[in-house]
Amino acid sequence: MKTLVIADHDNGSLKPETSKTINAALKLGFAVDVLIAGENVAPMSEIVASIAGVNTVLVADHSEYAHQLAENIADLVLLLAPDYSHLVASATTTGKNFMPRVAALLDVAQISEIIDVVDADTFKRPIYAGNAIATVKSLDSKKVITVRASSFDLQGEQAPAESRVVDSVFSSELSAFVSVEQTESERPELTAAQVVISGGRGMQNGENFSLLNGIADKLGAAIGASRAAVDAGFVPNDMQVGQTGKIVAPNLYIAVGISGAIQHLAGMKDSKVIVAINKDPDAPIFQVADYGLVADLFDVLPELEQAL
Amino acid sequence: MKVLVPIKRVIDYNVKARVKADNSDVDLTNVKMALNPFCEIAIEEAIRLKEAGTATEVIAVTIGAKASQEQLRTALALGADKAIHIETDEKLESLHVAKLLAKIVEQEAPELVILGKQSIDSDNNQTGQMLAALTGRGQGTFASKVDIANGTVNVTREVDGGLQTVALKLPAVVTTDLRLNEPRYASLPNIMKAKRKPLEVIAADSLGVDLTPRIELVAVHEPEKRSGGIIVDDVAQLVDLLKTQAKVI
């Protein structure tokens, strides 16, 4: 019994989700190897090798893996799968993309977005937008699992583990990379930030999101948004916190002009401390908020920036 | 070009799911059901492809109990040409659903399959990817834009950190993200017309797919409740409490 974790990265840097996913994988109780597939990933493989608990790092470095197309990565993981009882990836857009493909090719079910490991076969995962927590037991001989990273801790460091090169190259004819458009941001990543400040429909337009900048700067916070704000075109979709967006669990979450629909709460209700600023005292967000301020956000935000 | 759109009947997204007292599952008796929101987007995209002259036929398919024919009729009212109901009373897992859909793909040979990225009940986000794997097709998940030309579909995908565009060789599988389109409403005349459109019913166990459960649902619990918070008077008090009581800033 051995576990393979597939590292999440963007070729340049390792995603913090990887370390948390390794933390989850170690709870299964077996040796954990980590596959890092991408282009020019050697510097990153050293970082992975230094994450506490990693047994061996498998490095697949080739241009065909640069964009981590599901078709190519799934075939690569499939090649390695016979040596492992558990295959684990982060529930990021990358992991969510290739892991079910791996599972189907292995003819096993996938357990998505686990938030707790009960034992090597049994896991907890949220369903119905986090309104229920299901305990599920996998009956398959091989487990394919994605991990909700925000539910697990970062791993510490160790003396670097050994690395091994995987030189098999899979190049599917089915898909090809065309282009990528990165959202520019100098702020911490939403899923990794200790503080998140999010705006909702109450922000009224995209320009008003700049009212959050000063506060975010002072707190070192990432800026998020509700689905309503994204749907209204105020901000890009990758800022969306919620059931269908990103799941965050920072120390402090500040919801500004967000009513608190089920879909949004699903993405942030595991935050340590929640602050809600809303002018509607009946907004559902106040039911989960530790500190609520009933006020017009346009009055309060400049004041808050001053006070910090 | 033929487009297949698998859809799912789920709890209405405005309804808060309640856990059964015996912790065996979520209680769905007398709960309002609806078409999964991502499936609505998938139907809309297929209809737009038909309106653009790219698609010639749109087929909606669902797997579930008899009541899920309601959602197929909705799809027909929105503009699908025909519907297929794979009938079963079993609660199926994504892998089963993908295998059953693979049979329909084999039968209908659609060039494009468009699914929602996830259903809002099980929150699995698996079926599209699994179907692509089982049918040996390329996959374009979390699509916010779909462009078809010369035997290729270019899919712009919503990924962490931005947008990624991939080119898939047709036939292919696409799953929809929220920003792909804004679904239309069915008009009354179209709802009436939909009643006369063809709806084929196939028994799930006639398709030769092994539907043995791979996952056992051990228990379902309510999530931990957050303890009630306090309403502060002003910004000064808020900042003070965050510093001294919560100690998070």
Residue A183 has pLDDT above 90, yes or no: no
Cα B121–Cα B122–Cα B123 angle in degrees, nearest 5: 95
ipTM: 0.96
Alpha helix stretches (DSSP H) within chain B: 37-51, 69-78, 94-108, 127-134, 188-194, 235-244
Q: How far apart are CA A200 and CA A305, in angstroms?
A: 18
**In terms of CA atoms, which chain A residue is nearest residue B92?**
A109
CB contact under 8 A, A137 and B166: no
Q: How far apart are CA B165 and CA A267, in angstroms?
A: 26
Q: Which of A181, A170, A183 is nearest to A69 (CA)?
A: A170
CB contact under 8 A, B164 and A177: yes
What pLDDT, on a 0 to 100 scale, did the predictor assign at position B119?
A: 97
Taking one residue from A and the other from B, the number of pairs with CB-CB distance under 8 angstroms is 264
Q: Which of A200, A194, A216, A191 is nearest to A277 (CA)?
A: A200
CB contact under 8 A, B238 and A129: no
Mutate to test the interface with B, among A17, A73, A87, A110 (most CBs of B within 10 A): A110
**In terms of CA atoms, which chain A residue is nearest residue B166?**
A177
What pLDDT, on a 0 to 100 scale, did the predictor assign at position A258?
A: 98
The distance in angstroms from the start CA to the end CA of chain B is 57
Distance from CA of A159 to the nearest CA of B (A): 31
The CA–CA distances, whole Å, from A211 to A203, A279, A297 equal 9, 17, 9
Distance from CA of A132 to the nearest CA of B (A): 5
Of B140, B214, B219, the CB nearest to A109: B214
pLDDT tens digits, chain B, 249 residues: what are they? 999 999 999 999 989 999 999 999 999 999 999 999 999 999 999 999 999 999 999 999 999 999 999 999 999 999 999 999 999 999 999 999 999 999 999 999 999 999 999 999 999 999 999 999 999 999 999 999 999 999 999 999 999 888 999 999 999 999 999 889 999 999 999 999 999 999 999 999 999 999 999 999 999 999 998 887 999 999 999 999 999 999 998
CB contact under 8 A, A127 and B126: no
pLDDT band at A135 (very low <50, low <70, confident <90, very high): very high
**Prediction pTM value:** 0.95
Task: Collect all residues of chain A within an 8 Å Cβ-Cβ radius of residue B163.
Answer: 180-181
CB B119 within 8 A of CB B36: yes
Distance from CA of B196 to the nearest CA of A (A): 34
User: Which one-letter DSSP state was computed for residue A292?
Assistant: E
pLDDT band at A9 (very low <50, low <70, confident <90, very high): very high
Using the Cβ of A175 and the Cβ atoms of chain B, whether some distance falls under 8 Å is answered with: yes
CB contact under 8 A, A269 and B232: no
Dihedral sign (CA B107, B171, A68, A187): negative
Average pLDDT over residues A116-123: 98
CB contact under 8 A, B215 and A176: no
The strand order across the sheet containing A132-138 reads A116-117, A122-127, A132-138, B215-221
Task: Collect all residues of chain A within an 8 Å Cβ-Cβ radius of residue B216.
Answer: 136-137, 139
Instruction: Give me the residues of A, 266-295, that contact B with CB < 8 A.
Output: 269, 272-275, 281, 286-295
**Could you count the other beta carbons within 10 Å of the beta carbon of residue A220?**
12
pLDDT band at A184 (very low <50, low <70, confident <90, very high): confident
Task: Collect all residues of chain A within an 8 Å Cβ-Cβ radius of residue B18.
Answer: 131
CB contact under 8 A, A70 and B125: no
